[in-house]
Amino acid sequence: MDKGAKIYVAGHRGLVGSAILRRLQAEGYQNLVLRTRKELDLTDQRAVYRFFEEERPEYVFLAAAKVGGILANATYPADFIRENLLIQTNVIDAAYRYGVKKLLFLGSSCIYPKYAPQPMKEEYLLTGPLEPTNEAYAVAKIAGIEMVQAYRRQYGFNGISLMPTNLYGPGDNFDLETSHVIPALLRKFHEAKVSGRWEVVVWGTGTPRREFLHVDDLADAALFLMRHYDGEEIVNVGVGEDISIRELAELIAKVVGFRGKIVYDTSKPDGTPRKLLDVSRLFSMGWRPRIPLEEGLRQTYAWFQAHVAEARGARGG
């Protein structure tokens, strides 16, 4: 991927897209094509085709998506399946039709079966039932993977698919109704500390285990794979180790400086019991993450403190 190549980052204002954009700029890529959601509605097929016909990008990072945590997925399943299917279908098909050299599609570790053996290998996809709380989103993302693979088989289109684990970092969505676990807990503990409250309620039992990857590490992996990988098989992107929600809550309390009590609301859903990716395929290619969890949490909390007003209403995607 030549430094002068024309690159389109779809979703460049979201958590993932903004990290990919930062990484590309840091590496010296300047010929970047960017459109906000207002400038280009990726659910509008005609608008997407017109954009690709006019701009003719050579490479595409498809980071645009409707994303959210358990509550958002359970509350708005129709929005999650409709918007994600439309976005990825329009962008992948337009990329093929208008001569894109290579496209990178971002899936998610939550598309694996709920009770998949741990750690989850790439070949476990579609071997069992999904987690009900995010089934609509997962089905959409699985369709995107299948579409990328089908276009490769039928048309020879060079598309690759990455399966990131749970992501966090600067620019995350801290809206308590739609956010994922790390930004939600950072905000809860921060607001409790600021207001002098001595109790923070965490959803579920605290026993589920999750793997967390700093979004800047994902961006580094995305650029690495765009340069060095051309296979049909999906590639897991993670750190290869996990932590319980209870341990995570205690670590975030430490980072924020909250010294009160943590209470677990066991009436709320836990979601998948464990979600750890087998990252041996990616690691065997020579890539490794660089940002330890506590350091990444401190960076993310510092960003939140500097952007409290905008962070509370931030949207990923």
- Residue ranges at the known binding site: 11-17, 106-109, 141, 164-167, 180, 188, 203, 210, 270
**Where is the binding site for substrate, in residues?**
188, 203, 210, 270
| CA angle at 180 for the pair 131 and 141, rounded to the nearest 5° | 50
Distance CA 277, CA 242 (A): 9
Are the C-beta atoms of residues 305 and 191 closer than 8 Å to each other? Answer: no
The partner residues of 102 in beta bridges, in order of sequence, read 59
Are the C-beta atoms of residues 44 and 89 closer than 8 Å to each other? Answer: no
**DSSP assignment of 127-176, as one string?**
SSPPPGGGHHHHHHHHHHHHHHHHHHHHH---EEEEEE-EEE-TT----T
| CA angle at 244 for the pair 191 and 241, rounded to the nearest 5° | 120
Catalytic sites, residue numbers: 137
Read off the tokens for 257.
């400086």
According to DSSP, the β-strands at 212-214 and 166-168 are parallel
Distance CA 9, CA 20 (A): 8
Distance CA 175, CA 76 (A): 15
